[in-house]
């Protein structure tokens, strides 16, 4: 029998109670039919999480900062190798519990529309195109090359229009225009569905009045109807219970379970789907609908080889020696190298040479391993903090006096008496320069319930550097000695422009982060990370947090000048965009244009830059984006050399979304920009090379 026949036969032998038992994340064993128990809940946002030792890669937002699809697919392949090794060993030991399965609830492809959102660190930033490409690369690496024999199952979440506030996520209704819905919030989900993602997770909130996990519009009309999704849908955890307890759209658990199942949610992470036996007896759901959901879930398990002998599973021999192996550790390091962003380098302060004999390292994040984790993380046997990385660098290569002081607290202001005594130490007389490591960690921003140092359920009320850290930083600057500021975090941090001579944004950089930062500071690495999200200059630039209208948000709709623009990142060498040549001056529906970009390295050392192509409609309406990223490529350019890169732009790259939510190709003139940051004056002011541009006529 083929797989579908086996599934039908298996279902035909189950009772209603047994069928329902398979629709919860803790799927029960059915010994008489040879069905083992299975726990669907597993996590691997940037490494296998919550299941002991694993390689801890940089956080998702940092992976996006690499602007490198190949790197992300390589990271995801390493993660799925470790996942299979853990699963294989767990099955041998009879462990079928949570966090040991092969169904992973990642990637988070929500749009990071507001930098106050604590879970924005889990995303790939604010741009739908970048999110689509990075998310798809991760899915390819997790699921493997054979869709009929998956290595692991990926899940696109949270569908849809979900990005805070965390404290309201169980109750709020995200009201959006059809234009914003299809232009910003849904493109990445569509791309991943077209790319074969196995699962989709509904969001906690309502969207346009319907709870997302029970939305006929999202799940039936768009996901399965318009897009033809064939995989399974899971609820977020305990989200279906919210239907009657918080959203008040149903009156009982059995009504909530029926609403979700009938809309197309197959799996319940939570406690509500066991009530489907009651729903069935009351006539709220049919056995046919239960069978439909069960078929989808069993299909996923069959694809993962759970009902076949091990010798038929191409991944059954992956063993535990791949877990945190040397190859994966080097990959974690390389991912950090490509993601950490240099944002300021006044008068070429960096990289340091051996002329600085006395360096003082200060700040609460320097020795804090939590600034390497982010959220949803595994356990590495060796996390290298920034203090350790710099100490190792100084020991191995430089005759430098490195001194460390904690300086100020991470989460609150020092006691007044202690603050003055600490500040008095930093007169600047006994040091040549100061390296300050400030910012956030996972206790200050993240998911509701996990952030013990947050007053806003994991979100931030303001995006500025915490005031007690800023106060201390000003005292360091007042010494008159050069200050290198290293910021940690998973979201934009607004700082005064004059607060430091050099600024490095380190993200949550993974287990090798400290080593990489030390290599960047001393020039053994040339930084090459680029921001996947705009850094506003202040909280006052942001629209109301609860408003899901895109007006005023992200580089595509923001009229005000940001602190650092989307796509921005400096290097220790210089680049110039020399030309942008097009294969045609006009394009029609169904056609493609080739764009050739000439990029020169004008400096004295090799470097990597990210070529970014943006398209802007010349006669755009007030609701259209200022410009939109439509292609990118990370490219290495040797010192003094010029490299040409070819891009293919389909006619769909010039489409816009109308008020009805439909993509349309509007005739007229369009400007294509080639640059390495969003094309705004502030980009060049901050040190980005000047863009080159060309005009295309859409007919």
Residue-wise pLDDT tens digits, 376-385: 999 999 999 9
DSSP code of residue 267: B
Q: How much is the pLDDT for 419?
A: 53
DSSP symbol at 236: P
Edge to edge, the sheet with strand 483-488 lists 341-345, 502-507, 483-488, 433-439, 358-362, 401-405
Q: So which residues are the catalytic ones? A: 236, 445
Sequence-ordered alpha helix ranges (H) in 482-589: 513-521, 554-557
Distance separating the N- and C-terminal Cα atoms of the chain:
53
Q: Which domain holds residue 363?
A: 336-557
User: What integer pLDDT is reported at residue 396 of this predicted model?
Assistant: 76
Angle among Cα 77, 78, 84 to the nearest 5 degrees reads: 85
Confidence of residue 288 (pLDDT cuts 50, 70, 90): very high
| Cα 356 to Cα 264: distance, rounded to the nearest angstrom | 63
Percent of the chain residues past pLDDT 90, beyond the cut: 95
How far is Cα 503 from Cα 488, in angstroms, rounded to an integer?
11
Q: Is there a domain that residue 231 lies in?
A: yes
Residue 425: what pLDDT? 57
CATH number at residue 292: 3.20.20.300
Question: 486 and 353, same structural domain?
Answer: yes
Same domain, 364 and 454: yes
Distance CA 129, CA 327 (A): 30
What letter would DSSP give residue 413?
P
- CA angle 245-247-248, nearest 5°? 65
Does one domain contain both 542 and 668?
Answer: no
315 DSSP assignment: T
Q: State percent of the chain over pLDDT 70.
A: 98
Q: Cβ(603)–Cβ(574) under 8 Å?
A: yes
Domain CATH number, residue 445? 3.40.50.1700
| pLDDT tens digits, one per residue of 68-81 | 999 999 999 999 99
- The verdict on 287 and 348 lying in the same domain is no
pLDDT at 427: 57
Q: Are residues 171 and 252 in the same domain?
A: yes
Question: Are 380 and 408 in the same domain?
Answer: yes
- Residue 505: band (very low, low, confident or very high) from pLDDT cuts 50, 70, 90: very high
Q: Which residues are within 8 A (CB) of 598 and not within 5 positions of it... i.e. 6 or more apart? A: 577, 578, 579, 580, 581, 642, 643, 644
Closest to 83 in 3D by CA, of 170, 20, 144, 11: 144
Closest among 604, 551, 596 to 575, alpha carbons compared: 604
Q: Is the peptide bond before 165 cis (omega within 30 degrees of 0)?
A: yes
Q: Give the per-residue pLDDT at 428.
A: 61
On whether residue 473 sits in a domain, the answer given is: yes
**Domain shared by 524 and 615, yes or no:** no
Distance CA 643, CA 635 (A): 9
Structural domain contains residue 466:
yes
Does residue 42 sit within a domain?
A: no
Strand order of the sheet with strand 575-582?
A: 575-582, 592-601, 642-650
State which of 280, 303, 326 marks the end of a domain: 303
Neighbour-count burial for 364-402, b at 16+ CB within 10 Å, e otherwise: bbbbbbbbbbbbbbbbbeebbbbbbbbbebbeeebebeb
**The predicted structure's pLDDT at residue 429:** 66
Phi, psi (rounded to 5 degrees) for 687: 115, 0
pLDDT tens digits, residue range 381-425?
Answer: 999 999 999 999 998 777 889 999 999 999 998 877 655 555 555
376 close to 108: Cβ distance less than 8 angstroms: no
Distance CA 610, CA 282 (A): 59
For residue 521, is it within any domain? yes
Claim to verify: residue 408 and residue 491 sit in the same structural domain: yes
Q: Rounded distance, CA 446 to CA 49, Å?
A: 15
Do the domain assignments include residue 542? yes
* Beta strands, E only, 569-623: 575-582, 586-587, 592-601, 607-617
In a domain? residue 227: yes
Question: For residue 507, is pLDDT > 70?
Answer: yes
Residues 6+ away with beta carbon under 8 Å from 671: 615, 616, 618, 627, 693, 694, 695, 696
Q: pLDDT (tens digit, 9 = 90+) per residue, 13-51? A: 999 999 999 999 999 999 999 999 999 999 999 999 999
State the total domains in the chain: 3
DSSP 72-100: HHHHHHHHHHHHHHHHHHHHHTT---TT-
Domain final residue pick, 557, 585, 617: 557
Q: Are residues 618 and 518 part of one domain?
A: no
- State whether 258 and 384 are in the same domain: no
pLDDT at 361 over 80: yes
Among the listed residues 359, 318, 262, 305, the one whose alpha carbon sits nearest the alpha carbon of residue 103: 305
pLDDT, position 421: 52
Residues 502 and 379 in one domain: yes
- Whether 62 is covered by a domain: the verdict is no
Answer with the one of 493, 524, 557 that is the final residue of a domain: 557
Residues 598 and 540 in one domain: no
Whether residue 412 is preceded by a cis peptide bond, meaning omega within 30 degrees of 0, is: no
């Amino acid at each position: 029998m083929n797989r579908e026949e086996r599934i039908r036969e298996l279902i035909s032998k189950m009772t209603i109670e047994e069928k329902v038992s398979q629709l919860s994340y803790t799927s029960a064993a059915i010994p008489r039919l040879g069905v083992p128990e299975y726990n669907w809940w597993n996590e691997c946002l940037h490494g296998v999480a919550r299941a002991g030792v694993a390689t801890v890669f940089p956080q998702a937002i940092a992976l996006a900062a690499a602007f490198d699809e190949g790197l992300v697919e390589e990271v995801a392949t390493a993660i799925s190798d470790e996942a299979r090794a853990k699963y294989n060993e767990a099955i041998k030991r009879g462990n079928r519990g949570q966090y040991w399965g092969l169904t992973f609830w990642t990637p988070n492809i929500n749009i990071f529309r507001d930098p106050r959102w604590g879970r924005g660190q889990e995303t790939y930033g604010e741009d739908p195109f970048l999110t689509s490409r990075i998310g798809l690369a991760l899915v390819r690496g997790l699921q493997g090359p054979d869709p009929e024999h998956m290595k692991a199952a990926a899940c696109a979440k949270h569908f849809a229009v979900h990005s805070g506030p965390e404290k309201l996520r169980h109750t709020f209704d995200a009201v959006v225009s059809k234009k914003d819905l299809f232009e910003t919030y849904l493109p990445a989900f569509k791309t991943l569905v077209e790319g074969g993602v196995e699962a989709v997770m509904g969001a906690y909130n309502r969207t346009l009045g319907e709870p997302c996990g029970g939305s006929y519009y999202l799940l039936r009309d768009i996901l399965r109807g318009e897009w033809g999704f064939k995989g399974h849908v899971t609820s977020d955890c305990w989200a279906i219970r919210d239907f009657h307890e918080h959203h008040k759209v149903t009156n009982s658990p059995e009504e909530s379970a029926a609403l979700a199942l009938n809309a197309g949610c197959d799996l319940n992470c939570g406690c509500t789907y066991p009530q489907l036996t009651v729903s069935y007896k009351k006539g709220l759901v049919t056995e046919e609908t239960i069978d439909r959901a069960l078929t989808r879930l069993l299909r996923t398990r069959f694809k993962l080889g759970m009902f076949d002998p091990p010798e038929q599973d191409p991944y059954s021999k992956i063993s535990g020696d791949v877990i945190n192996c040397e190859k994966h550790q080097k990959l974690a390091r390389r991912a950090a190298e490509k993601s950490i962003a240099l944002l300021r380098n006044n008068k070429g302060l960096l990289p340091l040479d051996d002329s600085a004999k006395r360096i003082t390292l200060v700040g609460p994040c320097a020795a804090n391993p939590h600034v390497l984790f982010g959220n949803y993380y595994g356990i590495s046997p060796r996390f290298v903090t920034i203090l350790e990385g710099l100490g190792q660098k100084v020991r191995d290569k430089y005759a430098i006096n490195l001194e460390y002081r904690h300086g100020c607290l991470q989460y609150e202001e020092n006691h007044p008496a202690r603050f003055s005594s600490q500040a008095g130490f930093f007169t600047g007389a006994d040091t040549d320069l100061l390296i300050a490591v400030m910012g956030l960690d996972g206790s200050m921003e993240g998911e509701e319930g996990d952030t013990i140092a947050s007053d806003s359920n994991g979100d931030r009320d303001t995006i500025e550097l915490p005031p007690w850290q800023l106060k201390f930083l000003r005292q360091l600057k007042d010494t008159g000695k050069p200050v290198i500021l290293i910021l940690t975090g998973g979201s934009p941090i607004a700082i005064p422009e004059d607060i430091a001579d050099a600024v490095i944004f380190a993200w949550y950089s993974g287990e090798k982060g400290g080593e990489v930062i030390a290599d960047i500071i001393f020039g053994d690495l040339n930084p090459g990370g680029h921001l996947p999200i705009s850094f506003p200059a202040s909280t006052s630039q942001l629209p109301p947090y609860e408003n899901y209208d895109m007006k005023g948000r992200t580089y595509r709709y923001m009229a005000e000048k940001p602190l650092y623009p989307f796509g921005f990142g400096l290097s220790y060498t210089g680049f110039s965009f020399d030309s942008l040549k097009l294969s045609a001056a006009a394009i029609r529906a169904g056609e493609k244009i080739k764009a050739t970009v000439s990029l020169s390295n004008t400096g004295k050392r090799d470097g990597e830059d990210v070529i970014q192509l943006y398209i802007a409609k010349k006669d755009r309406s007030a609701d259209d984006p200022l410009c939109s990223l439509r292609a990118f490529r990370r490219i290495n350019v040797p010192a003094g050399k010029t490299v040409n890169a070819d891009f293919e732009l389909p006619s769909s790259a010039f489409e816009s979304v109308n008020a009805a939510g439909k993509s349309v190709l509007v005739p007229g003139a369009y400007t294509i920009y080639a640059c390495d940051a969003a094309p705004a004056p502030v980009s060049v002011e901050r040190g980005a090379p000047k863009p080159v541009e060309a005009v295309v006529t859409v007919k």
